[in-house]
Structure 1
Amino acid sequence: MHDLTVDTHIHLDMYTEEEKSKLLHELEPYKITNLISVSRNLESCRHNLEIAKQDSRVKVALGYHPEQKIPDVEEVSDILTEISHHKDQIVAVGEVGLPYYLRKEDSSLSLEPYLELLRVFLHKAKELELPVVLHAIYEDATIVCDLLESFSISEAHFHWFRGDEKTIERMINNGYMVSVTPDVVYEGEIQKLVKDYPLRQLMVETDGPWPFEGPFSGQMTHPKMMHESVCKIAEIKRCDIKDVYNNLYLNTKRFYNL
């Protein structure tokens, strides 16, 4: 088990068919046991479910990515129906959260409709006892922590997280999980997060096909990159790399009930 890993956050439906085929073919040689493919909208939810039907190593989260316009009532209803209908096949509700970058682009954007949408998804996750995958960074993370506490949700996974020390401490105390992307290899902010966050609450991800810089510049984002992330985490934590692999893998298996 010592060098097995799971990509806990990838948008598999956003790869081309050729890229997806290559990536899935190469999982076993790179000792990737599973991919958690998160959804962006209704079409993405349905696409991911189809991919998972064809390859049992792909596990699916259904939700609506917040960095886009608010969906109409019918789309939200259809996504909730898909979540309920496939509750035994999916591993989480996600990706859901708040639109940090959209608000950076347009300061007049109202947050309230996004908060209401997030409440709807958190209510569904609580009702079905499913974990939730979150896009919530910097000041948005504080708001999301408030919501998670109000719903008494402890099974929360903050992906690609950035935030202040006070929020990080709160997340640690609440038992929330954080996943680390390959930019931990070259980005100081993420290295500090890894230093501060307990190993028992860490996982790894790619957020593919999102591209990375540093040693990954110009490459298609591939789950094999996580092995370099694990090496960096072991270095930062000053832990034996086998122990780090083991911890990250068991954390993920437990959280996602794999």
Structure 2
Amino acid sequence: MNKKMIIDTHAHISDSRFDDDREIVIQKAFDCGIEKIFEIACEMRYWDRALELSKQDNIFLSFGVHPIETLKATREDYYKLQALIQDKKCIAVGEIGLDYHYDSSPQNINIQKESFLKQIDIAVKHNKTVIIHCRDAYDEMIDFFQKYKNVPKGVIHCFSGTPKQAKIFIEMGFLLGIDGPVTYKKSDNLKQVVFETDLNKLLVETDCPYLAPQKYRGQRNEPSYIVETLKEVAAIKNVLIDDVAQVTTQNALRLFNI
């Protein structure tokens, strides 16, 4: 594979699981051909650490309040978010969204929806791309954007919906983020989504330290492992891995205005 062609468009290197070897992990990624890393700071406790990380060349930022974090978020946090996204290295608001996997109580759902709307409004106001987290809430997410007047450009991170839902999001203008689970043996649905979706509508992500690809499953994920996702997408699409790397990189540069 040619060097300097790959972007990990979704990493959480600020996470405490990288405290012992963060710089080594970053250097390993760049050494193996990762051109840029997009650090997604969606927990308030990691915002400042992520900002510090972004001082390094080729590390870009996104700030947001993850749906699972919304119960903790204060008014001051949202004020700080609006200040942070104006940093020159900040390319998006996110990851933000809806997650009903652990708690689908009416109270939690309402708080998540309020936070999501607030952050979408912030993104639109500041002309930022959005990184959308959606888990067990795809129909609700589709309904939200069908009603929202000015749908921002963005990506449905770690897509795990149906091929039909994928088409709806793409028609709305979103790209789909493809992560390590596409390499799993029982991921037939996701493989079908990749097969049916034009390469120009896909991004590759790690979501590290989560969702390590099959080869490293059960281990801490890291940006350099994105090669496994690229290989799988190339196999599904029956194209060269370099082609997948090149197209998805161009997709990312265009989506995030870099």
Partner of 1:246: 246
Partner of 1:142: 139
Q: Is 2:92–2:129's contact at 8 Å kept on the other side of the alignment?
A: yes
Q: Is 1:154–1:174's contact at 8 Å kept on the other side of the alignment?
A: no
Total equivalences in the alignment: 252
Assess, with a 3 A threshold, how the Cα gap between structure 1 residues 170 and 81 changes in structure 2: closer, same or farther: same
Which stretch of structure 1 is more off in the superposition, 37-46 or 88-97?
A: 37-46
Partner of 2:68: 67
The Cα of 1:36 is off from its aligned counterpart by 0.7
Partner of 1:77: 79
Partner of 1:36: 38
CA RMSD, 1 decimal? 2.0
Following the alignment from structure 2 to structure 1, what is the Cα–Cα distance between the partners of residues 102 and 69?
Answer: 7
Partner of 1:184: 182
The DSSP-based 3-state class of the residue aligned with 2:114 is helix
The DSSP-based 3-state class of the residue aligned with 1:98 is strand
The Cα of 1:218 is off from its aligned counterpart by 4.1
Assess, with a 3 A threshold, how the Cα gap between structure 1 residues 72 and 167 changes in structure 2: closer, same or farther: same
Following the alignment from structure 2 to structure 1, what is the Cα–Cα distance between the partners of residues 39 and 209?
Answer: 11
What letter corresponds to residue 77 of structure 1 in structure 2? Answer: Y
Assess, with a 3 A threshold, how the Cα gap between structure 1 residues 196 and 51 changes in structure 2: closer, same or farther: same
1:78-227 equivalence runs, <5 A = 78-83=80-85, 85-86=86-87, 88-103=88-103, 107=105, 109-138=107-136, 140-149=137-146, 150-186=148-184, 187-212=187-212, 214-227=214-227
What letter corresponds to residue 145 of structure 1 in structure 2? Answer: I
What letter corresponds to residue 220 of structure 1 in structure 2? Answer: R
Q: Is 1:2–1:246's contact at 8 Å kept on the other side of the alignment?
A: no
Following the alignment from structure 2 to structure 1, what is the Cα–Cα distance between the partners of residues 92 and 213?
Answer: 29
Alpha-carbon deviations, 1:185-234, whole Å to 9, x = none? Answer: 12323212211222101011110111436321343312221112111111
Following the alignment from structure 2 to structure 1, what is the Cα–Cα distance between the partners of residues 89 and 42?
Answer: 18
The Cα of 1:108 is off from its aligned counterpart by 5.0
Q: Is 1:11–1:209's contact at 8 Å kept on the other side of the alignment?
A: yes
The Cα of 1:153 is off from its aligned counterpart by 2.1
The Cα of 1:147 is off from its aligned counterpart by 3.2
The Cα of 1:181 is off from its aligned counterpart by 1.0
Q: Is 1:126–1:151's contact at 8 Å kept on the other side of the alignment?
A: no
Partner of 2:11: 10
Partner of 1:235: 235
What letter corresponds to residue 43 of structure 1 in structure 2? Answer: R
Identical aligned pairs, as a percentage? 22
The Cα of 1:154 is off from its aligned counterpart by 4.0
What 5-or-longer segments of structure 1 have no aligned partner? Answer: none
The Cα of 1:2 is off from its aligned counterpart by 4.6
The DSSP-based 3-state class of the residue aligned with 1:221 is coil
The Cα of 1:167 is off from its aligned counterpart by 1.8
Following the alignment from structure 2 to structure 1, what is the Cα–Cα distance between the partners of residues 175 and 105?
Answer: 30
| TM-score in terms of structure 2 length | 0.89
Following the alignment from structure 1 to structure 2, what is the Cα–Cα distance between the partners of residues 65 and 123?
Answer: 15
The Cα of 1:253 is off from its aligned counterpart by 1.3
The Cα of 1:69 is off from its aligned counterpart by 4.5
The DSSP-based 3-state class of the residue aligned with 1:7 is strand
The Cα of 1:132 is off from its aligned counterpart by 0.2
Following the alignment from structure 1 to structure 2, what is the Cα–Cα distance between the partners of residues 235 and 180?
Answer: 14
What letter corresponds to residue 111 of structure 1 in structure 2? Answer: I
Q: Is 1:148–1:154's contact at 8 Å kept on the other side of the alignment?
A: no
| TM-score in terms of structure 1 length | 0.89
Assess, with a 3 A threshold, how the Cα gap between structure 1 residues 125 and 62 changes in structure 2: closer, same or farther: same
What letter corresponds to residue 133 of structure 1 in structure 2? Answer: I
